[in-house]
Structure 1
Amino acid sequence: MGIPVLFLLCFLVSVLLRSTLHSLILLFRFLSASFLHWFLPRRQQEGEPTLVLYQGRVWHRREKPIFHAFEYDVRYALLDLDRPPASLALSIRRHHMTSQAARNAAGTDGPVFLLTIPSSVGYEQNPLSVYYCYNYDGSDNSLQLKSCIAEVTNTPWGERVSFVFKPGSDLVSKPLHVSPFMDMLGDWNMYADPPGDNLFLRISVQHPTLGNYFTATLKARKAVDSFFWKHNLEMFFWLMPQKVAIWIYWQAIKLRSKNVSFIHHPKYSNSNYREEALLRERKLMGCGESMQTEGICHEASITRDQVLQGNIGSRWCVWRDAKWPWS
């Protein structure tokens, strides 16, 4: 474990130096652009890429084994993956799925909108991104939100899992070791509304012994002066990923100071943890919505053979491995 810890410290120092250098470059570019804008004001053009900017807050609340809660400000972009802004297109292609890949995974035929925190001054940190996948509905081709895709990335490992879930509310067996202060047991209750002037997301954890002991919530509204910020996206999201990372590490230190047990990544002790997560997920889907709602899904008489033989349905779920030295 010595090499990963040393790597983490070196990585944090490199992020600090790189972010400082890129911030100075960004400041120079922003001042230059503002000077030109003063003499050559831009007009909004028809056919510009669809982009909505949100400002809001994230709440985390843990009830067990000790109470711990915090909140912080956050900024998100909601963009049309078929027409991403030119300034974000490279970052989106590098870190996320294409619109067609999302449609194939969700089984939809309409536009796909990605909610994410774009990278800033050379650093990317996205605990959760969401793809909103729409269908064309009826003769008038109105849009109907059919499916969502969650893209969850853990820190510091950089592993990622992407899976489909139903809008409104859906129960998903936990597929990723997100926090060293939570085990792999339990299910995620995912809730998402179609984004509009307001944005709402919620993930709560249903644990077999701790119950509903953890909830993470995002509430946001469309940003004020969005026309100005859409032409200055780098300034709008300046250091936003770094701030999220600081909150993650700081809260980990506070949890450890409260003597919350540190749980090592399951890959060090169980190389089949992903297969076991899929097994739990297929059992969960075999329970049916009524049993999930009543919270008795894990008592269903579904055998391992039934799952392995494909008698129980499964949702689309894909992992991305961690990079060295966490691999």
Structure 2
Amino acid sequence: MEIIHLLWSILTTCLTALTQSLILPFRRHVESRAACQVRLYEGSVWHQRKAPVQHSFQYSVRYALYELDHSPTEHLSASQARLFAGTNGPVFLLSIPPSVGYEQNPLSVYYCYENEGSTLSLKKCIAEVTNTPWGERVVFLFDPNSDTVAKPLHVSPFMDMHGNWRIKANAPGDSLAIEISVQHPELGDYFTATLMAKKVSSLMVGDHALFFWLMPHKVALWIYWHALKLWWKGVPFIQHPRYSNPEYREEATRRDRKVRLKSVECIGQNLIGESSSISNEFDTNVKDHCFRWRDAKWPWC
């Protein structure tokens, strides 16, 4: 049944994209005030898998960085992001805008800044991860300098729910970088995904709709194509955990608490040179990753 849903979703997306692409050159181009608050980035995404087979690929991407206080968005608002992160400064969202009726964002990142007198510093980030094709979403906090998060979402039918994500990101400027690696209890550090991009002048781009034309579709095409390659290479297909373990989200939350407790204990050992007194209770100064899930929409619900 899910195969039928997938084929139907691909067909309707293609028809919508074709129709809207045909009228795109004839539409009246209007530059909104929000466009002045957008920075454009162009770069590449690189994936490398070491087990159970070797597999790697790279593709070009284009992203927009929105200043949320001045930009409309279908994601979190600036006030919601500040409340979530516990910060008081501006918030920027890195995301691939929808194009001709389709949106595909495996990863969007909110950069949450703190006002410290006359300076701004990047204090927290919020990751917004969406899986394909289900369209489920999870958002969580992470420390941009480096953080370890228990895997909270079934992002691929060729990865199980075990292990942790190690994630880090720099403050976006003339360039930006995001790196995520998977630490698996059996396979080790077997998977890495990186985004490297440089800022593009908006004056050189002109029409943003044309700049991002079919960008979400290209990302989806790469995801499906390399999923097919992994299946061809014999990587085991793993069913969505909601069928075998409906409480997988609660389990992810419990595993994440253990990860954070272990991190606090390591910090304590580094500070005092011996076992930390933190053993049974969490350090109240350590911010929870605060997982928030969104269920799949039709036809996957």
TM score, norm. by length of structure 2: 0.91
SS of 1:78's equivalent in the other structure is: strand
What do residues 78-124 of structure 1 show as CA deviations (whole Å, max 9, x unaligned)? Answer: 0100011xxxx3xx23xx11110000000000100000000000000
Task: Note the 1:51-62 alignment, pairs <5 A.
Answer: 51-62=38-49
CA distance, structure 2, for counterparts of residue 50 and residue 265 of structure 1: 39
Is the contact made by 1:49 and 1:83 (CA closer than 8 Å) also made in structure 2?
no
CA-CA distance at 1:314 after TM superposition: 3.1
SS of 1:16's equivalent in the other structure is: helix
CA distance, structure 2, for counterparts of residue 133 and residue 118 of structure 1: 20
Is the contact made by 1:173 and 1:187 (CA closer than 8 Å) also made in structure 2?
yes
Is the contact made by 1:106 and 1:149 (CA closer than 8 Å) also made in structure 2?
yes
CA-CA distance at 1:324 after TM superposition: 2.7
Q: Which residue of 1 aligns with 2:112?
A: 133
CA-CA distance at 1:5 after TM superposition: 1.3
Task: Note the 1:14-33 alignment, pairs <5 A.
Answer: 14-29=12-27, 33=29
What do residues 213-232 of structure 1 show as CA deviations (whole Å, max 9, x unaligned)? Answer: 00000000012x42142x51
CA distance, structure 1, for counterparts of residue 3 and residue 161 of structure 2: 23
Matching residue's letter, 1:134: Y
1:150 has 2:137 as partner? no
- 1:123–1:50 Cα change, 3 Å: same
1:236 has 2:216 as partner? no
Q: Which residue of 1 aligns with 2:195?
A: 218
Matching residue's letter, 2:293: W
CA distance, structure 2, for counterparts of residue 50 and residue 130 of structure 1: 17
CA-CA distance at 1:173 after TM superposition: 0.5
CA distance, structure 2, for counterparts of residue 23 and residue 161 of structure 1: 31
- 1:48–1:66 Cα change, 3 Å: closer
1:105 has 2:84 as partner? yes
Task: Note the 1:173-212 alignment, pairs <5 A.
Answer: 173-212=150-189
Q: Which residue of 2 aligns with 1:119?
A: 98
SS of 2:70's equivalent in the other structure is: coil
Matching residue's letter, 2:20: H
Structure 1 regions of 5+ residues with no counterpart?
A: 295-301
Q: Which residue of 2 aligns with 1:322?
A: 296
Matching residue's letter, 1:108: T
CA-CA distance at 1:291 after TM superposition: 3.9
1:66 has 2:53 as partner? yes
CA-CA distance at 1:313 after TM superposition: 6.8
Is the contact made by 1:157 and 1:322 (CA closer than 8 Å) also made in structure 2?
yes
CA distance, structure 2, for counterparts of residue 183 and residue 268 of structure 1: 13
Is the contact made by 2:140 and 2:289 (CA closer than 8 Å) also made in structure 1?
yes
- The RMSD of aligned alpha carbons is 2.5
- 1:68–1:307 Cα change, 3 Å: farther
What do residues 253-312 of structure 1 show as CA deviations (whole Å, max 9, x unaligned)? Answer: 0000000000000000011000000000011111125649x9xxxxxxx99xx689x9x9
TM score, norm. by length of structure 1: 0.84
Task: Note the 1:280-299 alignment, pairs <5 A.
Answer: 280-289=255-264, 291=266
What do residues 195-238 of structure 1 show as CA deviations (whole Å, max 9, x unaligned)? Answer: 00011000000001100000000000012x42142x51111100
Aligned residue pairs, count: 291
Aligned counterpart in structure 2 of residue 83 of structure 1, from 67, 70, 95? 70
What do residues 51-101 of structure 1 show as CA deviations (whole Å, max 9, x unaligned)? Answer: 1100000000000000000000000000100011xxxx3xx23xx111100
Is the contact made by 2:5 and 2:300 (CA closer than 8 Å) also made in structure 1?
no
Is the contact made by 2:5 and 2:299 (CA closer than 8 Å) also made in structure 1?
yes
Structure 2 regions of 5+ residues with no counterpart?
A: 270-277
- 1:48–1:267 Cα change, 3 Å: closer
What do residues 141-193 of structure 1 show as CA deviations (whole Å, max 9, x unaligned)? Answer: x1110000000000011000000000111000100000000000000000100
1:227 has 2:203 as partner? yes
Is the contact made by 2:149 and 2:289 (CA closer than 8 Å) also made in structure 1?
no
- 1:313–1:144 Cα change, 3 Å: closer
Aligned counterpart in structure 2 of residue 277 of structure 1, from 244, 252, 273? 252
